Copies of this chain bind each other. A is one copy, B any other.
Amino acid sequence: MIVVMRHDATPDEVEAIRARLIDDGFRVHLSPGVERTIIGVIGENTERVYGVSAMAGVEQVVPVHRPYKLVSREFHPDPSVIHVGPVAVGGNRVVVMAGPCAVESREQVMEAAGVVNGLGLSVLRGGAYKPRTSPYSFQGMGVEGLKILAEARERYGLMIVTEAVDHESLRQVAEWADIVQVGARNMQNFELLKAVGQTAKPVLLKRGMSATIDEWLQAAEYIVAHGNPNVILCERGIRTYESKTRNTLDLSAIPVVKELSHLPIVIDPSHSTGHWNWVAPMARAAVAAGADGLIIEAHPDPSRALSDGPQSLNLPHLEELVHSLRTLAEVVGRTL
């Protein structure tokens, strides 16, 4: 940490900070500058240094260390590959996960699963527990939905990714599915993160709607620190002032995350754009930028979807997109 003193800090104030930091067990380095004194602070648990902001003469405390460890490249220089049954996320293959926003019926899931399988994809998405902004919106089929997904897995050999929203749904999802999704709204639901960290299932951790990349990686750190190293990051659009799209897809997060962390990152072009006709260009852009996978909403009849119809591809459009992604993946040295 670096403590920057005010330009008018007195020698006594500087000394008080120095003494306090030493008293707290830190080593300190004073750099008296022309305009202000800078104090470098070295030691463990440097978070405690922030407290001196409340003392006289301090202008700001500047962190220089990364606020996470286990998920960082510094700790683990090689990229992690997360294994989900036969599927490897973070390897050479770009993994496309597709399916409806919400599980609505056996027929709907089976129809989507058939197409997903026919396209050679290996992960089926579909929500059984739906965190909805309004209490009057469809809240999901719960365990019944999970059983339908499990049946699709059985029939088509697909891996299942689906969201858990609390301890109880996590117990069920961990039993019936292959990847536990933590939704954007729960990215800082730390009790859920801890619980997910205690399961053995791979986790798809969506970025919170206004989470910084540092906060997102700290959320991943919660899961890893509680015992589960199998975290897949998922960028799904951030909240900005622009309202043409539902959110603003932050594709720059791909190279940034790859520099900071060893965890794989997949992109959700459906929630971010909010419109099915903008999904395909953003999916292609994600692959070109180096994404390890995509998670795409597709529905047999989007206009009848109980959730997120406007942003769902119909199944022929999904097929068309997957074909175009295949050629693209090759050009950037991957397969799909």
Contacts and interface: CB of A to CB of B under 8 A. Distances in A.
B239 A241 contact: yes
A88 to B, nearest CB: 22
A169 B194 CA distance: 14
Nearest to A252: B245
A82 interface: no
B282 A251 contact: yes
Contact of A51 (B50, B242, B243, B303): B303
Number of identical protomers: 4
Taking each of A132, A240, A328, which has the highest tally of chain B beta carbons within 10 Å of its own beta carbon?
A: A240
Contacts of A134: 47, 67-68, 218, 221
Contacts of A284: 288-289, 332
A95 to B, nearest CB: 18
| Interface SS majority for chain A | mixed
A120 to B, nearest CB: 19
A162 interface: no
Contacts of A133: 67, 188, 215, 218
- Top 4 nearest A-B pairs (CB, nearest first) are A210-B210, A288-B288, A53-B310, A185-B188
9 contacts: A8-B74, A50-B310, A51-B310, A62-B62, A165-B191, A239-B241, A244-B256, A282-B289, A285-B289
Interface of A: 2, 4, 7-8, 20, 29, 31, 33-36, 38, 40, 42-43, 45, 47, 50-55, 61-62, 64-65, 67-68, 74, 131-137, 165-167, 169, 185-186, 188-192, 209-210, 212-215, 218, 221-222, 225-226, 238-245, 248-252, 254-256, 259, 272-273, 275-278, 281-282, 284-290, 302-305, 309-310, 312, 314, 327-328, 331-332
